[in-house]
Structure 1
């Protein structure tokens, strides 16, 4: 019974001891701070105690590492299949959170080897020794260890890190040129031309910063150490600056390689080329310009290379050269013109000159010469050739009684032809009808001249002698009691009335003929009046009516549109009634406003040639129209009547007057005779009709069969009849002889 009790107590004590051993007690810590030293198990070299937990904290100077060596090592060896070696007694070396080594035993695999040094990476380490509750079958001596501080080889360590790092390699900072170890530290240095970055590790290229190049003979620019990898963290810049007017040319070597981002292209490293306000970034393996000539056409080009901290590539090499700035805008011949250059090249460069001209008929709009400037631009816009304009043909537009055909469609430009046409009832009597716009920008005569033209500007004169209606058959009746006239059949016929007021239905009337736009020809005796100063009626007492047909109907001037022409002056032939009664019975009335030719007012022709004067011949017939007395009791006619009368010889006319005076027992006016300025026409006696009072001054006209025009050959002057309506003798007409016509031309300034 006693034996059993002792056995139980022994087992219980063992369990208590095992429990106490397994409780983690605070280790005993000893700090070691010297540059070297030693430490050992308690009682060394005697057997160490059970249940020990010791710690030695070693710290050396910053920049150094710790080397530990065990000179003697003898611990209980242990191994458990599930937990491994060194379970009971062991030594553990810890750096930070990392276990550098764990030893136990003696001269076996788990014990440190002879002369083995355990080296830390930093300046701090922990050595922990643990023993369990028993060493039943062995008597281990423990260990003795030594430590020293050792200089760290930072350069080698950086190199190793650089070579072994796979993740985050692009963020490593290391000495990329030279690394120098010094006690407790290291430093980096750079090759010549490079500068140590602020990070104290990276050497960047400073020799390539802010480089100014002015050598126009050419040269080569490369990235730092090309074709070796370029420097990190570098910002190189080269400014190629040539003289004014010179241009930079670049040719890049195809061995081009600058780090490129797989998505953002030139986000890491780049080569930037700036010229003329244009900036381009380049990276990757494609050389700018594909390795071909890049004419920058600017005197200044800037190249900038930027590199980051990571990848280094080959970089670039570029050859630069100089030539003259080129004007890249191509100059072509302007439409209707041409351009010439002061050279025969296919391109244009600084100080070249382009000279412009236009073909005939065109003028240059802009500068005649363009100069290629030093900035590669022309100094002016390219001129154009504009067709020349002769402007408004003022002189042609000013031609009276004319118009320019289709002038509203005219552009009045080079080679355009204008045709001047006379208005209706006018004809061109002198000058050229066609005018062309010439290169001189003047309207010059071109064609369509009138024979015998002396002056160039066309002259439009009224056409004379054109009746306003078809001819009637030969009239058997005479003007007194004759046939009514078709309206405006005799457009030159003028009605004259006298007195203080114009009165178209007056009984005191005469006839007249329009012979020019300003003159009316009538008989002098119509205008002669002894009651007026100079024996000539005053202009304001003489009233001329144009375009009259039926006086009663035409007195409504607004409706009938007859013209009351204001009389400006009156002149009688100076020989009137001087040599013989009614001799030189010619008078001229000038109206103040020009008479415009129309379908109701036109001119009668004046005889000019011998053949025309010779139309007044015995047996020839003439026509007379007027508003004369129908009978002696009826008064003047309101309607216009006409009649046709044969011309008789002077002798026959005089004999008829003598016979009539004998029959009437009347004496002829003393001195009355038929002069060279008179002729007779009509019928001697009988039922035929004759002219009458009121017809005085009315023209006797004859048709020229050659020209188909009517000429005034005489005017009703006087007759030997005591009654109207029945012919008793012939009517005497004032005859237009050559001398009379010359007087008319003189007084009318050749009819102006």
Structure 2
């Protein structure tokens, strides 16, 4: 008893029996283990059946006796074929009184099948298992698969495809196509069509056509109107596809019933591909092509002129190349300017013009203006320069803008002339305040108050003054030259103690008014025409403390009304010292000439003429050392400018009363004429 129990326990602990049997050949038999004696518990058997290619498998059960259970969950047999796992099989097809619910034959169209038998750990009754056999059966692939595009021919164990006349069997041995690839057309014109055109084209085809003509020529394609290719162009031609490729350019895909248009000229090599699917009956397409010589652009070089001028230039055409006005043809290889060059249209549609360039002419830097500035970025053709002057001491006379012309010259942008503008001295501007003062008992000037004021010293040491009326001319009194025609001139001064060499203004010549007469000793004093001009050796550089005063303009001969105030200035004698060290100035009015005539003079009374002005107040006057200095007035038309209307001429021996001044307005014509006669070019004089 003990030993029997031990044997049973040992059997329960054994692992289930599992094996796989491979069956090959056209037929065979398979049974469960120990059939028909009854199968054991814990079995797992598999049979893998394989027949030759071109056959299917028929499996027939001759006996089935397997423990029944719900859904055959305990013991069962199962078949897997054609990627299908069939339902589990159990029960018996031989016991009386029971209807067997499972099929007893199974088929596969493939060449492989697997049968699996499984039993669990216990059976309450004895079941014999199953018995079955298999046979290889022929498959009619032509009916089941339709594997051929044209004709399918079945035979035992396989099939063979064949094609209609005009087609050939492709490499896959199933698809029929036409021989439409590899053709190369080299003539300059021709026709290409889809296979069988105008009959329906072949399906399952990949056609390639190539047009290849001589380099230097271009292909022109045109589709015939009778165009019929399967597909809808609005959704991208997914069925049959026609494409055209030329160099980097691609055209298509084309389909539908509207003939496409390929615009322009293509290169000398054109590829045409036509791919069709396995169905559809469409007429196809027709392409007419021709060729033309490859054309070069009518624009060869920027800013160039070509001769002869044509609408089109073809391969091997030649033209003479020049440059537009304002540009010069430059040979890059030889690094030199040339007048023209012969260039050719090359086979690739380009000109051999890369060796040349049209460079703008160069005007060089514009001429510098004395006391001015140039303002330009470039000096080549069409560049612009704008002149300006050193303000506020100079102003521009003439047009400011000059352009670099095609003749490589800077010309006036308005007139087109070469005449340059000039920087003319600005007269009459100063920093004078409105405070009043006196020379004799006067007030000290500050730098910039009287920038035209000059100090003159004769060779005999006599002191005097003068006024700068341009950047090279000085206005003063003629009587300063009674004993010497040479004077020493200093400008830009306020404090005589701070004289410097740069303030010395060397004199070139002195010009005395031709009607002035030197005074005769012991005779009646006569200062009529007491006016003189000094030409400086060089033009002076104007600055804040050295700038000209304006001359009277038209109508300047008419004096301002009596009582009109004007400024006098100088380094002459003061009340308490012999000479002033710092420039003095005063504001004195014009008065009636009777005031000067009635003044007390030592000796004979001087001669009085309309060429004189009387001015002053008691205690306010010019004095010795101020002779030749200016008597200036604010310009009523432009209050920021000052005009010289008088020159300190003479007065009573006792200063501090009334003084007589040369009436400058009566001599403007003489001043201008004299300066023009002694200038090599136009005077820098400015009158108002």
TM-score by length of 1: 0.46
Q: 1:344 & 1:574 partners in 2: Cα distance?
A: 79
* 8 Å contact from structure 2 (residues 320, 342) kept in 1: yes
1:516 counterpart SS class: coil
Q: 1:455 & 1:334 partners in 2: Cα distance?
A: 31
Residue in 1 that maps onto 2:512: 572
Residue in 1 that maps onto 2:143: none
Residue in 2 that maps onto 1:295: 214
* Structure 1 unaligned blocks of 5 or more: 1-248, 252-288, 299-323, 501-505, 530-536
Aligned match for 2:591, one of 611, 634, 648: 648
Asked whether 1:402 is paired with 2:372, we answer yes
1:711 counterpart SS class: strand
Query: Closer, same or farther in 2 for the Cα pair 1:649/1:747, shift >3 Å?
Result: same
Which range is displaced more, 702-711 or 379-388?
379-388
Residue in 2 that maps onto 1:488: 448
* 8 Å contact from structure 1 (residues 387, 413) kept in 2: yes
**Aligned-CA RMSD value:** 3.8
* 8 Å contact from structure 1 (residues 426, 460) kept in 2: no
Q: 2:382 & 2:354 partners in 1: Cα distance?
A: 28
Cα offsets for 1:702-748 (capped at 9, x unmatched) = 111202311111111111142x4xx2x3101111133x222222221
Aligned match for 1:668, one of 604, 609, 633: 604
Query: Closer, same or farther in 2 for the Cα pair 1:674/1:751, shift >3 Å?
Result: farther
Q: 1:651 & 1:338 partners in 2: Cα distance?
A: 83
Asked whether 1:594 is paired with 2:539, we answer yes
Query: Closer, same or farther in 2 for the Cα pair 1:695/1:423, shift >3 Å?
Result: same
Aligned match for 2:342, one of 357, 369, 384: 369
TM-score by length of 2: 0.50
* 8 Å contact from structure 2 (residues 465, 627) kept in 1: yes
* 8 Å contact from structure 1 (residues 624, 700) kept in 2: yes
* Structure 2 unaligned blocks of 5 or more: 1-185, 189-207, 218-290, 332-339, 519-523, 677-681
Residue in 1 that maps onto 2:552: 607
* 8 Å contact from structure 1 (residues 357, 368) kept in 2: yes
Which range is displaced more, 674-683 or 438-447?
438-447
* 8 Å contact from structure 1 (residues 494, 546) kept in 2: yes
1:510 counterpart SS class: strand
Residue in 1 that maps onto 2:530: 585
Asked whether 1:748 is paired with 2:675, we answer yes
Query: Closer, same or farther in 2 for the Cα pair 1:679/1:454, shift >3 Å?
Result: farther
Cα offsets for 1:639-674 (capped at 9, x unmatched) = 1110011111112331x22xx35xxxx5433xx232
Q: CA deviation at 1:374?
A: 11
Residue in 1 that maps onto 2:360: 387
Cα offsets for 1:653-700 (capped at 9, x unmatched) = 31x22xx35xxxx5433xx232111111002x4xx2321111111100
2:670 counterpart SS class: helix
Q: 2:512 & 2:305 partners in 1: Cα distance?
A: 71
Please give the residue correspondences for 1:499-538 in structure 2 after superposition, counting only pairs within 5 Å: 499=459, 508-529=462-483, 537-538=484-485
Query: Closer, same or farther in 2 for the Cα pair 1:721/1:549, shift >3 Å?
Result: same
Please give the residue correspondences for 1:445-456 in structure 2 after superposition, counting only pairs within 5 Å: 445-447=412-414, 456=419
Q: 1:343 & 1:689 partners in 2: Cα distance?
A: 90
Cα offsets for 1:333-363 (capped at 9, x unmatched) = 4335576777766x7433x114546566544
* 8 Å contact from structure 2 (residues 465, 626) kept in 1: yes
Aligned match for 1:691, one of 622, 625, 634: 622
Q: 2:442 & 2:417 partners in 1: Cα distance?
A: 47
Query: Closer, same or farther in 2 for the Cα pair 1:746/1:580, shift >3 Å?
Result: farther
Residue in 1 that maps onto 2:384: 417
Aligned match for 1:435, one of 381, 389, 402: 402
Residue in 1 that maps onto 2:260: none
Cα offsets for 1:18-52 (capped at 9, x unmatched) = xxxxxxxxxxxxxxxxxxxxxxxxxxxxxxxxxxx
Q: 1:330 & 1:653 partners in 2: Cα distance?
A: 92
Q: 2:411 & 2:330 partners in 1: Cα distance?
A: 24
Q: 1:645 & 1:380 partners in 2: Cα distance?
A: 81
Query: Closer, same or farther in 2 for the Cα pair 1:538/1:580, shift >3 Å?
Result: closer
Asked whether 1:702 is paired with 2:633, we answer yes
Residue in 1 that maps onto 2:581: 638
Q: 2:633 & 2:474 partners in 1: Cα distance?
A: 18
Query: Closer, same or farther in 2 for the Cα pair 1:496/1:370, shift >3 Å?
Result: same
* 8 Å contact from structure 1 (residues 495, 512) kept in 2: yes
2:385 counterpart SS class: strand
Q: 1:297 & 1:621 partners in 2: Cα distance?
A: 93
Residue in 1 that maps onto 2:433: 471
Q: CA deviation at 1:591?
A: 1.5
**Larger Rg, first or second structure (1 or 2):** 1
Asked whether 1:349 is paired with 2:315, we answer yes
Q: 2:292 & 2:587 partners in 1: Cα distance?
A: 97
Please give the residue correspondences for 1:133-282 in structure 2 after superposition, counting only pairs within 5 Å: none
Cα offsets for 1:62-97 (capped at 9, x unmatched) = xxxxxxxxxxxxxxxxxxxxxxxxxxxxxxxxxxxx
Query: Closer, same or farther in 2 for the Cα pair 1:375/1:721, shift >3 Å?
Result: closer
